[in-house]
Amino acid sequence: MYDFAQADQLSRQEIEALQVMRLRETVARAAQSEHYRRALAEAGVSAEAISSLDDLRRLPLTTKEDLRAAMPWGLLAVPRSEVVRLHYSSGTTGIATAVYHTRGDLERWAECVARGMLAVGVTREDVFQNMMGYGLFTGGLGFHYAGELLGCLTIPASSGATARQVQMMQVFGTTVVHILPSYALHVAHYCRQEGLDPRRDLQVRRGFLGGEPHTEDLRRRIEEAWGARFYNCYGLSEMCGPGVAMECLRQNGLHVREDHYIAEILDPRTQQPVPPGEEGELVLTTLTREAMPLLRYRTRDITRFLPEPCPCGNQHRRLARFSGRSDDMLILRGVNFYPMQVERVLMGIPEVGDNYCLVLTREEELDCLTVQVELRPQYSFDDLRRLERIRERIAEELRAELLFRVRVQLLEPHHLPVSEGKAVRVIDKR
């Protein structure tokens, strides 16, 4: 029944043969886009030049800046009429980048996620509550169609509205969830406040965590609070979304869907491969994407390959849990943003002085951002009503930029500590 899952039975040799063939097709397809037509010509490579996986190195790297520069259509490799959906994600300069999908792209994406769900025992008997944001964020729709493909009763719960989430879990007997790690702890906390014990009063037995970095300890705390097994799932909008790599029952590393993606780990400074098993930046090449093939995309995510074969038998290589990023992107409740976005908003407000600081905390198991802002000296702290207006304006503009609510704390000039070297703009206390 689940034909798409057969790829998880392939041997190393079969996987690599498939990769070479698909890489060649991908380069040919990519060359249909304006961006790669130019980039491939500059690098002096074409599809015919690809005869082994080593030839990957001859292909140009692709960055978020390339995506931005190619907006809106420069990376599209098919006629626009074949595109059936786009997702959109923000970036440093506020110019968001779009990712396009054909119908086939969406089907393969759902299959990638469904494979991971199947691998840890999810079946059509399950009630799957997808507690990730629906919309432009890929966590919602990315798992939604996978749940339906497996035949699960799929509840598009989206994120937030915790009381209703818990009520639905109780009424429908939810057995599987997909949830942000930070939100998973919050929901457990909420249950306890309401006198419920998720282990006893909910039927959730499996969950998928993803969308933001989290530690092994955090996972254990979530498992303990829910009385369920949680599996790590990695992805990024540029590569469809969730499902690029997922954990198996062993919960030890994430198997890359190597029939759909080639993963490299490079030294972010030299852009050369790191020695086997060492940490570096994950660089991904799509192998089956039609609308928007991406060659050697620099994810900025730091991880390493786990060199030993996985006892589960799946021969797709595993990535270790992600340890951070090589840029300053922050993730709060699954939403990606850069400190520079905050700075740009603040510096556009005349009352704001030169110093500010972003403080990230965890309160009641939920991540919060407080922006501390020094005002210019001429604004008196005696005029409380005026201060409140300024504070509200800053909060509103930040919310419009970041798409989540931010706490704003106004400070008198010279209140924030001045550091000797680089300004400390972010204090992450989570």
Interface with ligand DLL in residues 224-243 (CB under 6 A): 232-237, 241-242
Q: Which two tokens stand for residue 151?
A: 């035949």
Identified binder of ligand DLL from the candidate list 264, 301, 351, 367, rule CB under 6 A:
301
Query: How many positions of this chain bind ligand DLL (CB under 6 A)?
Result: 23
> Between 31 and 146, whose beta carbon lies closer to ligand DLL?
146
Distance CA(187)–CA(249), nearest Å, equals: 24
Distance CA(37)–CA(393), nearest Å, equals: 45
Residue in 327, 326, 353 with CA at minimum distance from that of residue 414: 353
Q: Strand, helix or coil at 95? A: coil
Residue 322 near ligand DLL by CB under 6 A: yes
Question: Closest residue to ligand DLL, Cβ-based?
Answer: 210
CB of 121 to ligand DLL, least distance (A): 19
* Cβ atoms of residues 334 and 184 within 8 Å: no
- The DSSP bridge partners found for residue 231 are 208
Residue in 115, 416, 404 with CA at minimum distance from that of residue 242: 115
* Cβ atoms of residues 130 and 155 within 8 Å: yes
Give the x-and-dash track for 187-226 against ligand DLL (CB under 6 A).
-----------------------xxxx-------------
Burial 64-99 (b: 16+ CB within 10 A, else e): bebbeebeeebbbbbeeebbeeebebbbbeeeebbb
Give the x-and-dash track for 41-80 against ligand DLL (CB under 6 A).
----------------------------------------
CB of 142 to ligand DLL, least distance (A): 6
CB of 409 to ligand DLL, least distance (A): 27
CB of 215 to ligand DLL, least distance (A): 10
Identified binder of ligand DLL from the candidate list 26, 158, 159, 336, rule CB under 6 A:
336
Contact segment (CB under 6 A) with ligand DLL among 49-57, 135-143, 199-207, 347-355 equals: 135-143
Distance CA(179)–CA(113), nearest Å, equals: 14
CB of 241 to ligand DLL, least distance (A): 4
Amino acid at 86: L
Q: Which two tokens stand for residue 97?
A: 């980048």
Interface with ligand DLL in residues 246-265 (CB under 6 A): none
CB of 255 to ligand DLL, least distance (A): 13
- The DSSP bridge partners found for residue 287 are none
CB of 401 to ligand DLL, least distance (A): 16
State in Å, rounded, how far the first CA of the chain is from the last one.
44
Using CB under 6 A as the criterion, which residues of the chain lie in contact with ligand DLL when the complex forms? Answer: 89, 132, 137-139, 210-213, 232-237, 241-242, 299, 301, 322, 325, 331, 336
